[in-house]
Structure 1
Amino acid sequence: MARNLFLAATALCGGLLMAPQAGNAQTAIDSLGLTVTTTPAITSDYLFRGLSQTRGRPAAQVTVDAEHSSGFYVGAFVSNVAFAGTNARQEIDYNAGYRFALGDLKLDIGGTYYTYPGYTALRGGFDINFYEFALRTSYEVAPVKFVGLAAWSPNFSGESGTGVYVEGGFDMALDYGFTISPRLGYQWVERNIAPRTGSRDGYFGTPDYMTLSLSVSREIFGGFIGTGTVVWNSMNQSSGRSECFGSTKACDSRALVTLSRPF
């Protein structure tokens, strides 16, 4: 699994985008009008919208973003995963879109295809690959940058039907190089739990839920950024663990630490 993960990361970084890495935060390729950013990271737990994708275990990840001077961009994300009751062991996401500004308001309109190479659905199971479209916004009033996200999928993970996610928050620069980043999000899914016997419809595995997180980050040394995050999910307070993917701990509130290094 680890070998396949790092081979995939190498292919994405070196082949898909055809861009060399460098020791600064961004690499400009003037002849092509491209700016490439590569960010490897290790984290004590991989969370996606407040839910653990590794059952509370560490993850090694890499994100690649190549943006043209016109505002169009492509990118990819690679991580290990571990979903209970499945053979899913790695995730590779592909994204593309367009970034532009309206005055001081910055917007990002794009789409992402979430894939899990090697995953095989059990008999009667459903596909966990899915794609969604998203609008991201940011508006800065120094030292605060307000951010927002609205995402829509016509067929969310597990063939669960329409999925909608909204999130808002801000990043605020503090003294001594610290940045604080609170986020509040809500996930809706058309089909949350297993339908009646005999139905061929897929489902997600949790009720709709709210997630609240608070991150504190700071450059530690040589461009390495350390981030500590605490996450709370509404399912822990209202629905209980029994409605979290068949009584797993993926929905529990938790704390995690991440070390990343943009190139």
Structure 2
Amino acid sequence: MKQILAAAVPACLGTLFCATLAMPAAAQMPLGDSGLTLTVTPVLSSDYLFRGISQTRNRPGIQGTADLQHDSGIYIGAFATNVAFPGTNARQELDLAAGYRFAAGAATFDLGAIYYTYPGYDAPPGGHEFNYVEAIAKASYTLEPLKLVGTAAWSPNFYFESGDAFYLEGGADLSLPAGFTLSGRLGHQWIGRNSRYGAPDYANWQVVASREIVAGITLAVGYYDTSLSRSECFSGTKFCEARAMVTLSKIF
């Protein structure tokens, strides 16, 4: 996908659950008296999207996130998933994250970095690497029943060696009766070398409803879309089109 049909769309630390590594999870397992807590989140989804674009050729994703945080706010984490990129042997994605989380009143902040990797991928002769690093900052402000959220990310050399890339996203989570949460996000991706990346700069948005259904398992149903037309989407693919997505997750 991306630049050629042999290119992949970059990853994310989960679709709806990108925040798993970005903010402390509700369920955590203390590791003795070490001051460390471990959070593990398996996810099943009908697709795997990164900033509105499918990473699995519109097919289901099986994912897992692990997060280890110290009481000081320092953390490390990892996210693994299947991927499917046309014309490549990339089948797995492994993202490694590290950073610092802290709170100031009703606001929380996460300053960190993510290394996106695709184990087993072999770049063709003269081809470009998929792996890249992204600095990322997240913030949220809670004013019950509303939580405002924002994300800013920058990569010095984005996916497929496409140069400087910036991403901004804002949104809100609204707590509703009967345990439901309604979430909305609007973001925009800028890429330094669009011709190499394979698509122009674009906007993406989503509206998601979620609720715990049984034994800590959360069901999320959402609508996702981008501003990219089919002709603009990596040589005319369907990976940027509007879609509904269903996700099941459980935080341990």
Q: What's the counterpart of residue 230 of structure 1?
A: 223
Matched, 1:243 2:243: no
Q: Structure 1, residues 67-106: CA drift from partner, whole Å, max 9, x if none?
A: 1000000000000001122111000000000001222221
Give the residue type in structure 2 aligned to 1:181: S
Which of 82, 85, 88 is the aligned partner of 2:87?
A: 85
Moved more, 55-64 or 242-251: 242-251
Q: Structure 1, residues 153-172: CA drift from partner, whole Å, max 9, x if none?
A: 00000000001000000111
Q: Structure 1, residues 138-193: CA drift from partner, whole Å, max 9, x if none?
A: 00000111100000000000000001000000111101110001000000000011
C-alpha deviation, 1:123, in angstroms? 2.7
Task: Indicate the RMSD between aligned Cα atoms, in angstroms.
Answer: 1.1
Which of 1 and 2 has higher RCO (CA within 8 Å, sep 6+)? Answer: 2
Matched, 1:32 2:21: no
- Preserved contact between residue 106 and residue 143 of structure 2 (Cα < 8 Å): no
Q: 2:171 & 2:98 partners in 1: Cα distance?
A: 23
- Preserved contact between residue 84 and residue 248 of structure 1 (Cα < 8 Å): no
Structure 1: where are the runs of 5+ without partners? 1-23, 194-202
1:63-142 correspondence runs (5 A):
63-142=65-144
Give the residue type in structure 1 aligned to 2:199: T
Q: 2:90 & 2:222 partners in 1: Cα distance?
A: 25
C-alpha deviation, 1:217, in angstroms? 0.4
- Preserved contact between residue 91 and residue 116 of structure 1 (Cα < 8 Å): yes
Q: SS in structure 2 opposite 1:39?
A: strand
Q: What's the counterpart of residue 56 of structure 1?
A: 58
C-alpha deviation, 1:31, in angstroms? 1.5
Which of 195, 204, 209 is the aligned partner of 1:211?
A: 204
Give the residue type in structure 2 aligned to 1:245: F
Amino-acid identity (%) = 54
Q: 1:226 & 1:57 partners in 2: Cα distance?
A: 18
Q: Structure 1, residues 228-253: CA drift from partner, whole Å, max 9, x if none?
A: 11111111xxxx31221111111111
| Runs of 4+ that moved beyond 2 A | none
Q: SS in structure 1 opposite 2:178?
A: helix
Q: 2:137 & 2:149 partners in 1: Cα distance?
A: 11
Q: What's the counterpart of residue 170 of structure 1?
A: 172
Q: SS in structure 2 opposite 1:242?
A: helix
Q: SS in structure 2 opposite 1:185?
A: strand
Q: 2:186 & 2:34 partners in 1: Cα distance?
A: 38
Q: 2:131 & 2:242 partners in 1: Cα distance?
A: 25
Q: 1:181 & 1:251 partners in 2: Cα distance?
A: 20
Q: 2:123 & 2:222 partners in 1: Cα distance?
A: 32
Q: 1:97 & 1:117 partners in 2: Cα distance?
A: 23
Q: SS in structure 1 opposite 2:159?
A: coil
TM-score after normalising by structure 1: 0.84
Q: SS in structure 2 opposite 1:61?
A: strand
Q: 1:261 & 1:103 partners in 2: Cα distance?
A: 28
Which of 225, 241, 252 is the aligned partner of 1:252?
A: 241
Give the residue type in structure 1 aligned to 2:248: L
Q: What's the counterpart of residue 152 of structure 2?
A: 150
